[in-house]
């Protein structure tokens, strides 16, 4: 009996030498290489890395148990993007990469630091169902059901100008004093019954057929690097057929533009839609490139409040553009349940980052080139 126990003990000690341990189970870090194949410098880009690809390399990784280090071994902010799912879909990091350059990041086990929020948004029931969102550059809002029937009712995307990297939404709504600039910015952008700063709606002939204001909202991701939410609208009739729409909107840290994904549901063939930007009565500066799917507007100066520039960049051009007395309308056709994806947003000259029309147009052109030449990610 004693010899048998000694034999079993010896066998147990030898087993590790004969059992093959999967290489993936031994991984204690992952290197992420991000390369920029273009001649365009990429600054403060929020990059999405497939989470399942990370897990396949590092099965032991825990969503709340790792840190991201740069090449100097400094911890940098990151975000796990869920897009409304139970499990992470992407790892988000913010990168600045020179033209033809490469940056490397490392994922290591550990407790991450608390990061400063660079994006934020929420439903605002105390202000008649507003939905407001922002990043460290600019802020926006859309209007809800409670505003209908009031003399304040409007439809399109509203712009709140900012010249601070801090999040301002909660404080501005708390004080209610956001129509005057106290050093952080203000709300002076007028939307009215237009598409504002890049909203979308169906067309019936040359007429924009607006729905009622949004009915339901859902936050899909709440910062610190990307804020994403969904708005749903009740059915309305366009050209004799019922139409519904759902919009998924996201805003990244360091960006002037939102990503918009609008999905229409309807019976029959294609539905004409228009993406629009409000036009002012006084002269402004336009830049339109239909083949590249780009339209931009640098508004006339609004007294001491400054100047706002608005712009739209299509994910898949072209875009047919018509300039009316009240709006710039970029039209296209969509199929039922096939998303229209585009980018829209604004800049304020008094923020000090984009000061004139040429700088705004250059920003939009560079953004468009960035879409055409995405950064490349390699896991090691």
Give yes or no: residues 109 and 162 share one domain: no
Selection from 328, 274, 280 nearest residue 308 by Cα: 280
In-domain check, residue 356 = yes
Residues 111 and 140 reside in one and the same domain: no
**Residue 8 lies inside a defined structural domain of this protein:** no
* 1 occurs within a structural domain: no
The structural domain count of the chain equals 2
Residue 216 domain-assigned (yes or no): yes
Q: Assign residue 254 the CATH number of its domain.
A: 2.70.98
pLDDT classification of 55: cutoffs 50, 70, 90: very high
How remote is the C-alpha of 168 from its chain's centroid? 18
Is there a single domain that holds both residue 280 and residue 350?
Answer: yes
CATH number, domain of 33, equals 2.60.40.1180
Q: Is 229 exposed, middle or buried (0-12, 13-18, 19+ CB in 10 A)?
A: buried
Same domain, 104 and 146: no
Q: Region 213-233: what's the mean pLDDT?
A: 98
3-class secondary-structure state, position 8: helix
Task: Note whether 111 and 127 are same-domain residues.
Answer: no
Angstrom distance (rounded) from CA 270 to CA 334: 5
pLDDT digits (tens, 9 = 90+) for 324-333: 999 999 999 9
Question: Do 183 and 104 sit in the same domain of this protein?
Answer: no
Domain boundary among 115, 135, 150: 115
DSSP 196-262: BEEEEEEEETTEE---PSB-EEEEEEE-SSEEEEEEE---EEETTEEEEEEEEEEEETT-SEEEEEE
CA distance 222 to 120: 6
Task: Please report where in the chains the tokens 């830049």 appear, as a residue.
Answer: 287
Q: Is residue 380 part of a domain?
A: no
Q: Is residue 233 part of a domain?
A: yes
CB 175 within 8 A of CB 293: no
Cα dihedral 254→258→259→261 (10° resolution): 160
The pLDDT score that the predictor gives to residue 380 is 87
Residue 322 CB contacts under 8 Å (≥ 6 apart), including other chains: 206, 328, 329, 331
C-alpha dihedral (142, 274, 344, 221), degrees to nearest 10: 50
pTM, 2 dp: 0.92
Domain termination site, one of 115, 131, 159: 115
Measured CA to CA, the distance from residue 220 to residue 250 in angstroms comes to 9
Going by DSSP bridges, is the β-strand pair 78-81/90-97 parallel, antiparallel, or unpaired? antiparallel
Q: What is the dihedral of CA 146, 205, 346, 214, to 10 degrees?
A: 20
Do 86 and 142 sit in the same domain of this protein?
Answer: no
In a domain, 16, yes or no: no
261 and 128 housed in the same domain? yes
Beta carbons of 91 and 42 less than 8 angstroms apart: no
Where residue 22 falls among pLDDT bands split at 50, 70, 90? very low
Residues 91, 182 within the same domain: no
Condensed to tens digits (0 to 9), the pLDDT of residues 81-140 reads 999 999 999 999 999 999 999 999 999 999 999 999 999 999 999 999 999 999 999 999
Of the three residues 94, 115, 136, the one that is the final residue of a domain is 115
CA 140/CA 156 separation, integer angstroms? 10
Closest by CA to 255, choosing from 365, 363, 373, is: 363
Mean predicted confidence (pLDDT) in 213-217: 98
- Mark whether 89 and 169 lie in a shared domain: no
Task: Based on the fold, state whether residues 68 and 100 are members of the same structural domain.
Answer: yes
DSSP code of residue 268: S
Confidence band for 78, pLDDT divided at 50, 70 and 90: very high
Structural contact between residues 118 and 224, judged by C-beta atoms closer than 8 angstroms: yes
pLDDT tens per residue across span 289-342? 999 999 999 999 999 999 999 999 999 999 999 999 999 999 999 999 999 999
Burial code (b: 16+ CB inside 10 Å, e: under 16) for 124-138 equals beebbbbbbbbbbbb
Find tokens 């400054």 and name the residue: 306
Which range of residues forms the domain containing residue 57? 26-115
- Strands (DSSP E) contained in 335-375 are 340-348
* The two structure tokens encoding residue 264: 């229409």
In a domain, 378, yes or no: no
For 13, 17, 18, 19, the CA distances from 7, given in Å and listed in that order, are 10, 16, 16, 18
Residue 339 sits in the same domain as residue 242:
yes
Rounded to whole angstroms, how far apart are CA atoms 194 and 297?
A: 15
The number of helices, as runs of H, and strands, as runs of E, in the chain is 4, 26
């Amino acid at each position: 009996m004693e010899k048998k126990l000694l034999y079993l003990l010896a066998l147990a000690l030898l087993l590790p030498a004969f059992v093959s341990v999967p290489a993936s189970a031994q991984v204690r870090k992952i290197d992420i290489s991000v390369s920029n194949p273009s001649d365009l410098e990429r600054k403060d880009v929020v990059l999405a890395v497939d989470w399942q690809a990370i897990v396949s390399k590092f099965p032991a990784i825990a969503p709340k148990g790792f840190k991201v280090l740069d090449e100097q071994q400094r911890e940098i902010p990151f975000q796990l993007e869920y897009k409304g799912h139970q499990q992470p879909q992407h790892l988000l990091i913010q990168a600045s990469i020179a033209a033809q350059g490469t940056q490397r990041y490392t994922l290591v086990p550990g407790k991450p630091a608390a990061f400063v929020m660079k994006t934020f948004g929420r439903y605002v029931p105390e202000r008649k169902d507003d939905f407001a969102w922002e990043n460290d550059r600019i802020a926006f809002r859309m209007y809800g059901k409670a505003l209908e029937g009031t003399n304040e009712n409007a439809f399109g995307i509203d712009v709140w100008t900012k010249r601070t990297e801090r999040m301002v939404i909660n404080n501005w709504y708390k004080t209610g004093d956001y129509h005057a600039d106290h050093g952080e910015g203000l709300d002076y952008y007028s939307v009215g019954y237009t598409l504002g700063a890049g909203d979308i709606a169906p067309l019936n002939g040359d007429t924009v057929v607006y729905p009622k204001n949004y009915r339901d909202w859902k936050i899909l991701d709440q910062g610190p690097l990307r804020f994403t939410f969904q708005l749903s609208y009740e059915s309305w009739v366009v050209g004799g057929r019922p139409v519904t729409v759902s919009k998924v909107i996201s805003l990244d840290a360091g960006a002037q533009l939102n990503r918009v994904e609008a999905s229409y549901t309807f019976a029959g063939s294609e539905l004409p839609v228009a993406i629009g930007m409000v036009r002012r009565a006084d002269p402004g500066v336009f830049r339109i490139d239909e083949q590249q799917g780009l339209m931009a507007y640098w508004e006339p100066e609004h007294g001491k409040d400054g100047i706002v520039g608005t712009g739209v960049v299509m994910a898949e051009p072209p875009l047919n553009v018509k300039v009316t007395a009240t709006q710039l309308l970029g039209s296209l056709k969509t199929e039922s349940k096939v998303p229209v994806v585009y980018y829209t947003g604004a800049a304020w000259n008094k923020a000090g980052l984009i000061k004139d029309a040429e700088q705004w147009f250059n920003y939009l052109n560079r953004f468009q080139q960035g879409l055409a030449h995405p950064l490349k990610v390699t896991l090691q």
